[in-house]
Amino acid sequence: MDRRDPLAHLRDRFRLPEGLIYLCGHSLGPPPRTVGARAGQVISGEWEADLVAAWNRHDWVELPRRIGRRIAPLLGAGEDEVIAADSVSVNLFKLLGALLLRTPDRRAVLVEEGNFPTDLYMAQGLARLLEESGATLRLTAPEDFESSLGPDVAVATVSHVDFRTGRMLDMGALTSAARAEGVPLVWDLSHSAGAVHLRLNEDEVEFAVGCGYKYLNSGPGAPGFLYVARRVQDTLESPLTGWMGHASPFDFETRYRPAPGMRRFLAGTPPILSMAALDEGLRTFEGVDMAAVRRKSVELGDLFLRLAGERLAQFGVVPASPADARRRGSQVSLRHPDGYALMQALIARDVVGDFRGPDLMRFGLAPFYVRYADVRDAVEALRLALVNEEHRQARFRQQKLVP
C-alpha cells in the first residue's frame, strides 16, 4: 500500500524524528522542513534588516489576506472568503457575536453539548456578556441538535469532526436544515481542515472557523482563520472592532468604520512571526489534490479499525469511531478502561497518539506523513503493550498536565 501511495513523497516535506510513528497530527502537526529557514528570513532578512519599514517592503500588513487565499482551496472556498487571524476561540466569538447582534428578535445561542470545550466556553461567555438583552445559551445532545434549531435561535455552532471520536457530520445536510429554520450555522473546522475534502461553497456554508496548528502543520498556537461567504460579508460587523478591521486603519479616526469584505474581521496587529510559520505550513499543500488526501485518509482509518478489531478486541479494546468512513474524519479513537496508561506505554514504544478522558485513545491519521505501515506497527505495538501488561506499570499511570 505504501509503494502505490501517490502521496508518499509528501512525507519528505516534514521533519519527523527517525523511528517515531507520529499519530498526533489531530493535536499538533510536525514542522515543515522549510519553516526554520522561513522564520530566520523573517527575523534576519526582514525585521532585523528593515525594522518598521518591513511593513511596507515585505507587505506584512497584507499577510492575513494572502494566507487566507492559500487556505481557501483547502476549504472549497473563494479566495476572498477566508482570512487568517487570532485563534479559533477569538474568531468564534467574533462570528457568534456578530450573528447574535444581527437578530434582536432571536436570543438563543445553540451549542452541541459535546462540542470542543473552547467553543462551548466562548458561547457561554458571549451569552453572559449579553444576558441583559435576553441572550441565552442552549445546550443540546448531538442527536437532538437539528430538532433544536427553533425560531428563537439566533446562531448555532457545531464541530464538523468530533474531537473525541472522529465522528463527522454531513455538512451539506445540516447547513440546509439550519437554513430552513432561519438559523445561521458556524462550523468549527479545526479537526477537518487539511485532512478532509471540504466543499464550503458547494454545501452553501456561510460561516466557519478553524485552526492552523493541527493538520495545517503551522506550529503550536498558530493563528486561526475565518470563512464568511462573500454574499453575507458586508451584512456583519464584528463585535471586536479592532483597528486592523477599520476601513482606513492608518487614518486613525475616532469613530470605527468596518473595512469591506473579510478584512472587517481582523482586530489587532497580526503576529508576523506566527503568520509566517502558518504561511510555510500551507506551502506543504502546493500541488496536492484534497480528494486524494481524503481517499488516503479513509484507507488509513479503515485499515486501523480492521486491524484493531482483529488484534485488540480480545483485550477489551473497543472502537469509538464510526466504521462508516463517510461519517468519520481523519482520526480513529479506541476505548479501554486503562486508556491513559496504555497511551503512555505506546509513547514509550515511539508510537505517539494522545488520550481524552475517561477512556479514549486518539490516533490522528494525517495523510501527508502517516504511512500504512505506521498503522500496522501502531496496532501491533498496542497489542504487545497489552500482552505484556505494560499499562500496569506505575510510571505509565502518573497523570501529566497535558495527557
Out of 251, 267, 283, a domain closes at 283
Report if residue 402 sits inside a domain. Answer: no
354 and 304 part of one domain: yes
pLDDT tens, residue by residue, 322-364: 999 999 999 999 999 999 999 999 999 999 999 999 999 999 9
228 and 357 part of one domain: no
This prediction's pTM: 0.96
Query: How far separated are the first and last CA of the chain, in Å rounded?
Result: 32
Output the pLDDT for position 149.
95
Report if residue 2 sits inside a domain. Answer: no
Spatial distance between the Cα atoms of 49 and 371, rounded to a whole number of angstroms: 42
pLDDT tens, residue by residue, 266-281: 999 999 999 999 999 9
Output the pLDDT for position 390.
97
25 and 54 part of one domain: no
165 and 218 part of one domain: yes
Output the pLDDT for position 132.
87
pLDDT tens, residue by residue, 21-34: 999 999 999 999 99
Spatial distance between the Cα atoms of 293 and 287, rounded to a whole number of angstroms: 12
The CA–CA distances, whole Å, from 324 to 114, 166, 167, 171, 299 equal 20, 11, 10, 16, 11
Grid coordinates given for 371 = 504511512
Report if residue 137 sits inside a domain. Answer: yes
Output the pLDDT for position 29.
98
**Structural contact between residues 91 and 265, judged by C-beta atoms closer than 8 angstroms:** yes
CATH number at residue 72: 3.40.640.10
As for how many domains the chain has, the answer is 2
Report if residue 15 sits inside a domain. Answer: yes
Report if residue 3 sits inside a domain. Answer: no
Q: List the catalytic residues.
A: 116, 188, 213-214, 362
254 and 335 part of one domain: no
Out of 249, 283, 317, a domain closes at 283
CATH number at residue 12: 3.90.1150.10
Amino acid residing at 112:
E
212 and 314 part of one domain: no
151 and 248 part of one domain: yes
Spatial distance between the Cα atoms of 141 and 357, rounded to a whole number of angstroms: 19
Report if residue 144 sits inside a domain. Answer: yes
Report if residue 1 sits inside a domain. Answer: no
Residue 298's domain comprises: 8-32+289-396
Q: Is residue 303 very low, low, confident or very high in pLDDT (cuts 50, 70, 90)?
A: very high
Sign of the dihedral defined by the CA atoms of residues 193, 194, 198, 201, in that order: positive
**pLDDT for residue 403 is more than 90:** no
pLDDT tens, residue by residue, 177-212: 999 999 999 999 999 999 999 999 999 999 999 999
pLDDT tens, residue by residue, 95-138: 999 999 999 899 999 999 989 999 999 999 999 999 888 999 99
pLDDT tens, residue by residue, 311-324: 999 999 999 999 99
Q: Is residue 73 very low, low, confident or very high in pLDDT (cuts 50, 70, 90)?
A: very high
> Is the preceding omega at residue 322 within 30 degrees of 0, hence cis?
no
The overall average pLDDT reported for the chain is: 97
16 and 98 part of one domain: no
DSSP run (H or E) holding 338: none
133 and 265 part of one domain: yes
Residue carrying C-alpha cell 481557501:
72
